[in-house]
Amino acid sequence: MMADIRTLIQDRKIRYLLCSFVELTGAPKAKLVPATHFEDLVREGAGFAGFAAGDLNQGPHDPDVISMPDMQRAMVLPWRKDVAWVPGNLHVDGAPWPYCPRTVLARQLEAAGQRGYTFHVGVEPEFMLLKKDGEEFRPWDPLDSAAKPCYDLRALYRNLDVMTTLLEYMQELGWGPYANDHEDANCQFEINWTYADAITTADRHVFFRWMVKTVAEQHGLYATFMPKPFAHLTGNGAHFHMSLAGEDGGNLFLDEKDDLGLSQTARWFMGGLLHHARALSAIVAPLVNSYKRLIRGAPRSGATWAPVYVTYGRSNRTQMIRIPGPGRIEARAVDGAANPYLACTALLAAGLDGIDHRIDPGEANHDNLYELPEEELRRRNIGFLPTTLREALDCLQHDEVLTRALGNGYADYYVRVKLEEWRNYHQTISRWELDHYLVNF
Return the HEC string of 80-116: CCCEEEECEEEEECCEECCCCHHHHHHHHHHHHHHCC
Distances (CA, A) of 191 to 126, 177, 318: 8, 7, 21
Kindly state the smallest distance separating residue 31's Cβ from ligand GLU, in Å. Answer: 34
Can residue 149 be called a binding residue for ligand GLU (CB under 6 A)? no
Question: How many residues of this chain bind Mg ion (CB under 5 A)?
Answer: 1
Kindly state the smallest distance separating residue 392's Cβ from ligand GLU, in Å. Answer: 16
For residue 379, give the H/E element and its range. Answer: helix 374-379
Can residue 126 be called a binding residue for ligand GLU (CB under 6 A)? yes
**Contact with ligand GLU (CB under 6 A): which of 234, 316, 318, 339?**
234
Q: Which residues of 245-255 are buried (b: 16+ CB within 10 A; e: fewer)?
A: beeeeebbbbb
State which residue, 180 or 403, has the beta carbon closest to Mg ion: 180
State which residue, 184 or 255, has the beta carbon closest to ligand GLU: 184
Residues with Cβ < 8 Å from 171, sequence gap 6 or more? 177
State which residue, 107 or 314, has the beta carbon closest to ligand GLU: 314
Backbone dihedral angles phi then psi of residue 306, each to the nearest 5 degrees = -110, 150
Q: What angle do CA 406, 422, 382 make, to 5 degrees?
A: 70
Can residue 209 be called a binding residue for ligand GLU (CB under 6 A)? no
Q: Are 262 and 332 contacting, i.e. CB atoms less than 8 angstroms apart?
A: no
Q: What angle do CA 400, 98, 227 make, to 5 degrees?
A: 70
State which residue, 149 or 237, has the beta carbon closest to ligand GLU: 237
Q: What is the DSSP secondary-structure string of 219-240?
A: TT-EEE--S-S-TTS---BEEE
Backbone dihedral angles phi then psi of residue 16, each to the nearest 5 degrees = -140, 145
Q: Which residues in 13-32 contact ligand GLU (CB under 6 A)?
A: none
Can residue 224 be called a binding residue for ligand GLU (CB under 6 A)? no
First and final C-alpha spacing in the chain: 70
Contact string 312-331 vs ligand GLU (x = CB under 6 A): -----x--------------
Can residue 275 be called a binding residue for ligand GLU (CB under 6 A)? no
Kindly state the smallest distance separating residue 302's Cβ from ligand GLU, in Å. Answer: 12
Can residue 144 be called a binding residue for Mg ion (CB under 5 A)? no
State which residue, 173 or 238, has the beta carbon closest to Mg ion: 238
State which residue, 239 or 275, has the beta carbon closest to ligand GLU: 239
Q: Are 306 and 234 contacting, i.e. CB atoms less than 8 angstroms apart?
A: yes
**Contact with Mg ion (CB under 5 A): which of 190, 203, 255, 353?**
190
Can residue 125 be called a binding residue for ligand GLU (CB under 6 A)? no
Kindly state the smallest distance separating residue 330's Cβ from Mg ion, in Å. Answer: 10
Can residue 139 be called a binding residue for ligand GLU (CB under 6 A)? no
Kindly state the smallest distance separating residue 245's Cβ from Mg ion, in Å. Answer: 25
- Parallel, antiparallel or unpaired: strands 28-34 and 16-22: antiparallel
Can residue 286 be called a binding residue for ligand GLU (CB under 6 A)? no
Kindly state the smallest distance separating residue 348's Cβ from ligand GLU, in Å. Answer: 21
- Parallel, antiparallel or unpaired: strands 328-331 and 75-76: unpaired
Choices 25-33, 77-85, 233-241, 360-368 (CB under 6 A): range interacting with ligand GLU:
233-241
Q: Are 336 and 285 contacting, i.e. CB atoms less than 8 angstroms apart?
A: no
Kindly state the smallest distance separating residue 80's Cβ from ligand GLU, in Å. Answer: 31
| Helix boundaries (H) for 158-197 | 160-173
Can residue 255 be called a binding residue for ligand GLU (CB under 6 A)? no
255 binds, among ligand GLU, Mg ion, none (CB under 5 to 8 A by kind): none
Kindly state the smallest distance separating residue 131's Cβ from ligand GLU, in Å. Answer: 20
User: Rule CB under 6 A: which residues touch ligand GLU?
Assistant: 126, 183-184, 234-235, 237, 293, 305-306, 317, 332
